A and B are shown apart, each in its own frame.
Chain A
């Protein structure tokens, strides 16, 4: 029995454990792991997500029980303080000693904080651990609305800038170099990125050397030179990393001149019983601040310990990177900058669109050497593959970044053209061959099954699109049509189910499940099928409540503490003073928190289940109807005041918005959809951020489709120009109906159109030129939906059996006492759980 001690339970330390237990014979080894942080290893790469959902557990790479199940002795919150190489022992912060046969150092790195005068002041933070983020968040709360600086304009600095912006502070990136992301970008791309960031509200200050942090106790500013001061309330230092090599130094291992424990290509340090991996290891005189090389080192270390001695670390390590999360695509790969003697560069820049693409190719134009993408990195994966596999380039290499002109097929060819050795998922080192084998030889038939079998996509997830393509293509080559299967209960896509329901005239979920499905259903297929019934029969959610999502089941939006919000329809955002007062009275009576929504209506929060019918009874008596804010259906049609009041208005945008909102209200669809109508091209109603939009222009209406705000904002595309109102409505009728019938569940129109082969041109042909010959059918189906509209809340309050659903307990009239509110700016809000 040999004892392996791992120092550090971070990303690479964990990966070592995972690979070790997968390969080693448990009988022969004892694996002991020490981690200094108070929790088990988590996904540091997605640290910023912690503060989006506040859920530290979700970031865990494996739950604590996993270590037990695999016989790993895990000591967290226990730091290793000393290594005695002579007798192969370590000592920990708890004063305990352990012997080892092999020691693996995976202590990672710490943020580098430059010795600037005043950095010890309150309000100065780093960004590396969950605790760092918690402290930063707590402090940010106290200076909300203020300014925050980020010292360092590299990859991490920009991510931190986005994070502090989301915390409600105005971000200022301060960079010493004359450009952003100095390691990855050239000057021109840095400029493009800077403009883009500034338009998003992230301020950039380049060529700034910080002399001093100002403030009395707490930070109040940064001083760069005389009279050059930036007032800030908080500072996040992201000025690079330093390896946590203190243990290596004190036990006399060979160190790099600027730190890091020196390792060879077997990951062994100058002491053959000690290995080092991850960000603490200095390999080829470099520290690699990325997970992928760290994971590769973990694999080499495992193999070396288990005696597979020919696994070695590659001599050249790929440092290609793609910036994530920040809302603008940035990527660089291979050699991003290139001396002219090695090759030439092809550069495409579009300043108005904040686009920059550069590729570096050999003089003969045959091979790709590297490149930079800013603004649109959709082609990153493919370019990276071309580079890594030294694949031959198209005749005109510029096609790679410009797209082949003349509307031909994409110049990349398909992912299937890659050699089998191409590494598709670099986090888990999964090759194209592995993925295709998982399908062709091992019989996996879905992306989910393939990623379970190969681990591809389970790291940063960047390779997902390519994995999907490979799985799809491999299945096709087996002659299998690729099933986009709804879930384990239905082997059909949504579109197929839609047709089945319609053709066989099925009216009931259980009937459908018995006829074409299996098992008893789940939370994926139930609401999807409910939406299909709604789209075909326009039945309200009241008819089959058990298959509705909770929002549809109770006709209200569930909120954080299990209470609901109530949103009456205010078509086009037009509301009379009398209605406003009625709403105010009702909200006051039931003590509801009220807020104006982004869609120009009023949301009333904090209603308990049993109050919903009472509130609606009063609203309906005042002439309101449901706003369907809970459904996957039309939300609102936002409008500007248009020619009725506005001096620029070209047409009556409000009247149009009201008409169209009433037309589509209540129609259920694969996802929610929204509309907008602007009275002129100044576009005050933001119609081009909506699923459909109309803008009044000289000579008619411009019709836009498939835009959205939200997590992946996208501008709408122009469907038709200068058409009259009736034509505009007809086109949108057909477009919505076509979308309802063909989209996958929970796909917004923008994502749907992106997938539609032929894109907007194809859609124009279907909707305007009736290329499929279905226009008349679409018109009729839409008209049937419009004609059968019912206010489902009216139905609910008038039907005793439906009303009965609205009690918290079935065996008592008590209400839920666990709901507690606290006050906030003269209104109420849910109490946080202790």
Chain B
């Protein structure tokens, strides 16, 4: 099991203006495209927070995480892959079901009604 350090906001070089907030379903995810990357963005309305992570599920390498259900386990926000329900922390990217590599998470900010996702390059 590999773990990855979540990208800190200070390390962000580029803030990418993704889409207006109303494009994102409540308490669920949607996928955005940044250059060649697919990023899953989650509007966790119940927590009043936004999260972003890679769209690729490391289990079987499918581009599906944005279509997964979100929720929380002992307070840790998580996403469940729609294919086999492996779960990942939305904060740290760590695999909560244990069997997978960690996923990369990205910082998100909301400004002027838009969702911005931060990248290090």
Contacts and interface: CB of A to CB of B under 8 A. Distances in A.
Interface of A: 55, 57-58, 63-65, 488-489, 510, 513, 519-523, 525-527, 545-547, 549-550, 553-554, 558, 560-562, 805, 808-812, 814, 816, 818-819, 833
Contact of A810 (B24, B73, B78): B24
A554 B64 CA distance: 13
B52 interface: no
Interface stretch (B4-12, B28-36, B104-112): B28-36
Nearest to B25: A546
17 contacts: A63-B98, A65-B1, A523-B87, A545-B28, A547-B69, A553-B28, A558-B83, A560-B60, A560-B62, A809-B31, A810-B18, A810-B23, A810-B24, A810-B41, A811-B32, A811-B33, A819-B63
Interface string B77-114: 11010110101000000000011100000000000000
A510 B73 contact: no
A199 B72 CA distance: 48
B74 A558 contact: no
A525 B70 CA distance: 11
Given A522-B80, A523-B71, A811-B32, A64 B46 contact: no
Contacts of B32: 809-812
A520 B46 contact: yes
Nearest to A58: B99
A562 B64 contact: yes
Given A65-B1, A522-B80, A523-B85, A488 B62 contact: no
Contact of B73 (A58, A522, A805, A809): A522
Contacts of A523: 68-69, 71, 80, 85, 87
Given A64-B1, A545-B25, A519 B75 contact: yes
B33 A814 contact: yes
A549 B82 contact: yes
Given A63-B1, A510-B46, A818-B63, A812 B33 contact: yes
A527 B38 CA distance: 26
Contacts of A519: 72, 75
B69 A549 contact: yes
Contact of A811 (B23, B25, B28, B74): B23
Contacts of B85: 523
B33 A809 contact: yes
Contacts of A63: 1, 98
Given A523-B87, A526-B69, A833-B61, A808 B1 contact: no
A526 B62 contact: no
B67 A522 contact: no
B44 interface: yes
The 8 closest A-B CB pairs, nearest first, are A522-B71, A550-B82, A523-B80, A546-B28, A811-B19, A520-B72, A810-B23, A523-B69
A714 B63 CA distance: 37
B71 A558 contact: no
A115 B90 CA distance: 57
A553 to B, nearest CB: 7
A805 B24 CA distance: 9
A519 B78 CA distance: 12
Contacts of A525: 71
A558 B64 contact: yes
Given A58-B99, A63-B1, A546-B25, A816 B72 contact: no
Contact of B72 (A522, A545, A550, A814): A522
B33 A562 contact: no
A486 B98 CA distance: 22
Nearest to A522: B71
A808 B46 contact: no
A818 B56 CA distance: 10
A527 B26 CA distance: 16
A816 B33 CA distance: 10
A3 B70 CA distance: 47
Contacts of B68: 523, 550
Contacts of A812: 32-33
Contacts of A561: 62
Contact of A520 (B44, B60, B98, B100): B44
B121 interface: no
Given A545-B28, A809-B32, A553 B71 contact: no
Contacts of B100: 57
Contacts of B80: 522-523
Nearest to B117: A811
Contacts of B99: 55, 57-58
Interface string B40-64: 0100101100000000000011111
Given A553-B67, A810-B31, A816-B63, A522 B78 contact: yes
A546 B33 contact: no
Contacts of A58: 99
A545 B67 CA distance: 11
Contacts of A64: 1
A148 B80 CA distance: 40
Nearest to A523: B80
A560 B44 CA distance: 27
Nearest to A809: B33
Nearest to B2: A65
A810 B23 CA distance: 7
Nearest to A554: B67
Contacts of A805: 25
Contacts of A816: 38, 63
Given A522-B80, A523-B85, A526-B71, A562 B63 contact: yes
Given A520-B77, A525-B71, A550-B82, 6 more contacts: A63-B1, A513-B46, A522-B80, A550-B64, A809-B33, A833-B60
B35 to A, nearest CB: 11
A822 to B, nearest CB: 16
B17 to A, nearest CB: 9
Contacts of B25: 545-546, 805
A513 B46 CA distance: 11
Contacts of A65: 1
A112 to B, nearest CB: 33
A430 B63 CA distance: 43
A554 B67 CA distance: 9
Nearest to B77: A520
A709 B82 CA distance: 25
A63 B46 CA distance: 34
Nearest to B68: A550
A554 to B, nearest CB: 7
Nearest to B28: A546
A652 to B, nearest CB: 41
A523 B69 CA distance: 6
A805 B28 CA distance: 11
A489 B83 CA distance: 23
A55 B41 CA distance: 28
A64 B3 CA distance: 12
B62 A520 contact: no
Contacts of B19: 810-811
Given A523-B69, A833-B61, A818 B38 contact: yes
